[in-house]
Amino acid sequence: MSRRKKLYEGKAKILYEGPEPGTLVQYFKDDATAFNAQKKATLEGKGVLNNRISEYIMLGLGRIGIPTHFIKRLNMREQLVRQVEIIPLEVVVRNVAAGSISKRLGIEEGEQLPRSIVEYYFKKDELGDPMVSEEHITAFNWASTQEIDDMMAMALRINDYLSGVFSAAGIRLVDFKLEFGRYYEGDMVRTVLADEISPDSCRLWDMDSNEKMDKDRFRQDLGNVTEAYAEVAKRLGIMKESGQAPANDEGK
């Protein structure tokens, strides 16, 4: 296992060659970065929590018919995923104003948006992931119009589903970021959800207190970051408050 070939190392995850062709092992690190990696820290246990939360969400999305790269969780920090060609876009869905939309458009944080808004950002660290339009996406061939349609439809469906899942756990889904990939099956290509969905990539607020339960705790130095992630996991019924797997977990 330790001799596996590392294919890519990102800020919060590592991708290794998988056991079979067309598969990868996605490893969740404890590292956290913000503001285009200008702020860095190691948050003990974050990777374990994100692995579990993302698994839970990907499985739920699979059940409602969203194609994802997820195959199965392997252990505390790793999951087996399908190898895809990542579309170089971040797809952000917003329900409530926060973060960059508040700053850019002067909308007060916490204001309910008139409807859910989908935005695209070009994945390019050197440029700080600039927001782009469908015109840019098709003109520069980052994705086809069909892929944009697929991503938009899936993003809205995912938003509906996740808003319900989190709401049942007393959590407001403010916004989140998705990444998609091209999955090649013979001469067919399918757009599938990739990467992760976790408190690193979502804004999650407690429904009663509006307390932040996501990566903004790290970005804004609010403290208790992993504790907040563990609370999300606990409310979803995945893990106990301590961040430990439930007693009936297979010990992986």
Which of 200, 213, 232, 233 forms a contact with ligand 5GP (CB under 6 A)?
Answer: 200
Strand partners, 205: 172, 212
Judged by beta carbon, residue 52 or residue 203, the one nearer ligand 5GP is 203
Per rule CB under 6 A, is residue 31 in the interface with ligand 5GP? no
Binding range to ligand 5GP, per CB under 6 A, among 140-148, 158-166, 199-207, 243-251: 199-207
Q: What is the CA radius of gyration of the chain?
A: 18
Query: Interhelix angle for 46-63 vs 225-235, to 10°?
Result: 30
DSSP assignment letter at 166: H
DSSP of 226-246, one letter per residue?
HHHHHHHHHHTTSS-TTSPPP
Residue with tokens 């190691």: 42
Please list the helix, strand and coil fractions of the chain in percent, rounded to the nearest 5, in that order.
30, 35, 40
Cβ partners under 8 Å of residue 60, min gap 6: 161, 165
| Residue with Cβ nearer ligand 5GP (55 or 200) | 200
Binding marks (x or -) toward ligand 5GP, 152..191, rule CB under 6 A? -----------------------xxx--------------
Alpha carbon of residue 26 to chain centroid: 13
Nearer to ligand 5GP, 23 or 123 (CB): 123
Does residue 202 belong to the site contacting ligand 5GP (CB under 6 A)?
A: yes
Pick from 99, 101, 97, 100: nearest CA to 111:
97
Name the residue number minimizing CB distance to ligand 5GP.
99
Bridge partner residues of 41 (DSSP): 32
Residue 223 near residue 43, CB atoms below 8 Å: no
Least separation in angstroms between residue 117's CB and ligand 5GP is: 11
In whole angstroms, how close is the CB of 199 to ligand 5GP at the nearest point? Answer: 9
- By CB under 6 A, tell whether 100 contacts ligand 5GP: yes
Q: Return the residue of 69, 73, 203, 217 that touches ligand 5GP, per CB under 6 A.
A: 203
116 binds ligand 5GP (CB under 6 A): no
Query: Please, which residue, 152 or 245, has the CB nearer to ligand 5GP?
Result: 152
Query: Of 176 and 183, which has the nearer Cβ to ligand 5GP?
Result: 176
Contact (CB, 8 A) for 131 and 119: yes
**Is residue 78 within the footprint of ligand 5GP (CB under 6 A)?**
no
Q: How many residues bind ligand 5GP (CB under 6 A)?
A: 14
CB–CB of 57/162 below 8 Å? Answer: yes
Residues in touch with ligand 5GP (CB under 6 A): 90, 92, 99-101, 129, 175-177, 200-203, 215
